[in-house]
Amino acid sequence: MTADRELILAAARVARASPEGWKQFLGAFRAYADQHRDNCIQSPLVTLPVAQGRAQLAANVYGILADCLTSADKIEGKRK
């Protein structure tokens, strides 16, 4: 099982168990990802590669988490 797949399935279990808590967590993670994007935009050239990598990772993880229910359904064979 790939790491992304494990993360998707674990996130979907949490989202299904506590939809309101999941919504709050996802909102907080979105703010976290946005902050890293803003840090990247404002970073000096010397730290740009590091800031860009952090922003890309945060955006990627947010995307995985935001779509976890749909992705988990596909993985689990529940095509809706």
| Predicted TM-score of the model (pTM) | 0.89
Residue 78 has pLDDT above 80, yes or no: no
Output Rg (C-alpha) for the chain, integer angstroms: 15
Helix, strand, coil shares of the chain, percent, nearest 5, are: 85, 0, 15
Question: Residue 66 CB: number of other CB atoms within 10 A?
Answer: 15
Residue 79 has pLDDT above 60, yes or no: no
Output the six-digit token pair for 21.
Answer: 């808590």
Model confidence pLDDT, tens digit, residues 3-58? 999 999 999 999 999 999 999 999 999 999 999 999 999 999 999 999 999 999 99
